[in-house]
Amino acid sequence: MSPRACRGAAVIVPDSQTPVIIAGGGPVGLSLALGLARQGVRSIIFEQAAELPPFPRAIVVLTRTLEVFQSWDVADAFRARGEFVQTVRPVSALTNKQLIAIDFSQLADETPSAGVIVLPQETTEKLLLQELRRTGMCEVRFNYKLIGATQDESGVAVAVAGENGETQEVRARFLVGADGAHSAVRAAMGLALEGMTYPAHVFLADVGIADERDNLPWPRVVAGERPRGAIRFEPGRWRVIGSLSPEQAEGTLPQAFLGEVVRETIGSGPYTLLWHSTFTIHRRHAKTFRKGRMLLAGDAGHLNSPAGGQGMNAGIQDAHNLAWKLAFALRGGNVDLLLDSYDAERHQAITEGVERLTEVLTRFGLLMPKAMRNPIGAILRRALSFRVFANRLVRAASMLNTGYWRSPLFLGKSSLLGKRAPQPELLVKYTPTLVLHRPSPDVLAAAHDLGIPDVEVVRAHDWRRWRCALPFAALVRPDGVVGSFHRNPSGESVHNGARGALGFPT
């Protein structure tokens, strides 16, 4: 239904006060609203469900997402509720012998959050909603379903259906679809999720374990013809996951089968089945995440295999990239440059980062016949004893390897452009920083006269991290990415570089 169908209905949001409409109050919609709030931008979320869903789904908050939460000042709440893990040591469920070690502490030099937090998605969502409500900057309307959207040059018009079926028209400057895999916003943009579905069926069950098996080491792996695994995501709550034959995938899973999997992975004994699901897995994305003033974030824009636990994390990182750009567009930045850069950067992060990693993990972990998986597993274990390889794996698993090479916001040729700022403290604030090394008076004057509020000017505390002993100026964006870098800068190059990197006219 297009908004035309409800022309004449009350416009429930005044345009100037709430410039961003978000469809969907899942982890990505809530994160986007929180990021916008931190940038001083009000938003409204329409969520079709009556309340947050009770399902755990994603159970790990990865390192890069922890940095995002730290930049929004909410990381402590997550650390207090979840289990912070610095080294993941998968063990064989048959022997309890450690198979490999994935040691996040080796990242301590480049991140203030060198680890991951094990936490069920329902708690992540509750914490995000709680922190969002504290800001007073977002109205979350449950029981409101987006049923259509149109746009013109100045804004968007959205049709929403309320609890009793009444429809209303809402206008704003931008609409973001964070409304999941079956996104109505994506449909309104005329887009589909393109890609492939793996020839694999996966089951997932969450079980309650109340005896001494709850103290077993995890993750636990059974490397059979159809591999299975188990992970404890909260005291007393375990997730078992594995692949199914096509015959098993038809119909509902028999209790006896689930009991067998629990016995294999966690051991014999009583358990309570809390939730289970069977599903197919995909590698799909929309060909663009932006059309005019409509944007896609999270599962609305891309769907991935759960191998590697990247789906929710990638969506929250979309929100982190997008929120400051919407805010800067609203403050007079170039709308097209900023929003095109969101599309270019996050497309690259999804297709060259998330999809590649989940592809390897899915093919190795779920699809490869046992006869091949065992020798390749042995090679992998050997390779992990080499520091360089182990570091690459850990950076990919933590999502710290995300960098952007293609973006209309990048000008110039420095190899630092699009990379993470090499000073970790700059990764966990959500405002831009201009880093200067041995600045001339001309550069200092330009740095303090950028005409953009909130740009903090600091001295590089260690030029070696920037691999440049010469005088330099680097603009670090709110998302911690190096947006411009000039050696031997002039006042003019600092002015133009910093403004351009933030989407402002030079």
Of 306, 353, 377, 483, the one binding ligand FAD (CB under 6 A) is 306
Among the residue ranges 294-302, 354-362, 414-422, 465-473, the one whose residues contact ligand FAD (CB under 6 A): 294-302
Largest CA distance in the chain: 76
Q: To the nearest whole angstrom, how small is the minimum distance from the Cβ of residue 284 to ligand FAD?
A: 12
Segment holding 23, helix H or strand E:
strand 20-23
Q: Does 377 bind ligand FAD (CB under 6 A)?
A: no
Q: To the nearest whole angstrom, how small is the minimum distance from the Cβ of residue 65 to ligand FAD?
A: 9
Contact 230, 207 (CB under 8 A): no
Residues 12-31 that bind ligand FAD (CB under 6 A): 23-29
Q: To the nearest whole angstrom, how small is the minimum distance from the Cβ of residue 244 to ligand FAD?
A: 14
Residue where the block lists tokens 């069926």: 201
Residues in the chain: 506
- The rounded distance, in Å, linking the Cα atoms of 16 and 9 is 19
Of 313, 358, 407, 423, the one binding ligand FAD (CB under 6 A) is 313
Contact 416, 482 (CB under 8 A): yes
CA angle in degrees (0–180, nearest 5) for 62-193-25: 55
Q: Does 46 bind ligand FAD (CB under 6 A)?
A: yes
Q: Does 503 bind ligand FAD (CB under 6 A)?
A: no
Q: To the nearest whole angstrom, how small is the minimum distance from the Cβ of residue 186 to ligand FAD?
A: 10
The letter for the amino acid at 108 is A
Rounded to the nearest 5°, which phi and psi values hold at 104? -75, -15
Q: Does 420 bind ligand FAD (CB under 6 A)?
A: no
Q: Does 178 bind ligand FAD (CB under 6 A)?
A: yes
For β-strands 472-476 and 482-487, DSSP reports them as antiparallel
Which CB, 36 or 455, lies closer to ligand FAD? 36
Residue-by-residue DSSP string for 360-412: HHHIIIIIS-HHHHHHHHHHHHHHTTSHHHHHHHHHHHHTTT---S--TT--S
Q: Does 68 bind ligand FAD (CB under 6 A)?
A: no
Of 85, 91, 204, 383, the one binding ligand FAD (CB under 6 A) is 204
Q: To the nearest whole angstrom, how small is the minimum distance from the Cβ of residue 468 to ligand FAD?
A: 36
Q: Which residues fall within 8 angstroms of residue 227, CB to CB, at 6 or more apart?
A: 221, 242, 243, 365, 366, 373
Of 35, 242, 311, 333, the one binding ligand FAD (CB under 6 A) is 311
Q: Does 243 bind ligand FAD (CB under 6 A)?
A: no
Q: To the nearest whole angstrom, how small is the minimum distance from the Cβ of residue 429 to ligand FAD?
A: 24
Segment holding 151, helix H or strand E:
strand 145-151
- The rounded distance, in Å, linking the Cα atoms of 64 and 314 is 9
Residue where the block lists tokens 């022309």: 7
Which CB, 184 or 427, lies closer to ligand FAD? 184
Q: Does 47 bind ligand FAD (CB under 6 A)?
A: yes
- The rounded distance, in Å, linking the Cα atoms of 462 and 469 is 10
Q: To the nearest whole angstrom, how small is the minimum distance from the Cβ of residue 490 to ligand FAD?
A: 44
The pair of three-digit structure tokens given for residue 163, joined into one six-digit string:
């609890």
Contact 315, 265 (CB under 8 A): no
Of 38, 42, 79, 145, the one binding ligand FAD (CB under 6 A) is 145
Sheet of 290-291, strand order: 138-142, 43-47, 20-23, 174-177, 294-296, 290-291
Q: Does 312 bind ligand FAD (CB under 6 A)?
A: yes
Q: To the nearest whole angstrom, how small is the minimum distance from the Cβ of residue 11 to ligand FAD?
A: 18
Q: Does 298 bind ligand FAD (CB under 6 A)?
A: yes
Rounded to the nearest 5°, which phi and psi values hold at 45? -105, 130
The letter for the amino acid at 76 is D
Which CB, 82 or 180, lies closer to ligand FAD? 180
Among the residue ranges 35-43, 244-252, 303-311, 336-344, the one whose residues contact ligand FAD (CB under 6 A): 303-311
Segment holding 276, helix H or strand E:
strand 272-285
Which CB, 202 or 262, lies closer to ligand FAD? 202
Among the residue ranges 242-250, 310-318, 338-346, 472-480, the one whose residues contact ligand FAD (CB under 6 A): 310-318
Binding region for ligand FAD (CB under 6 A):
23-29, 46-49, 57-60, 121, 145-146, 178-180, 184, 204, 277, 298-300, 306, 309-313, 315
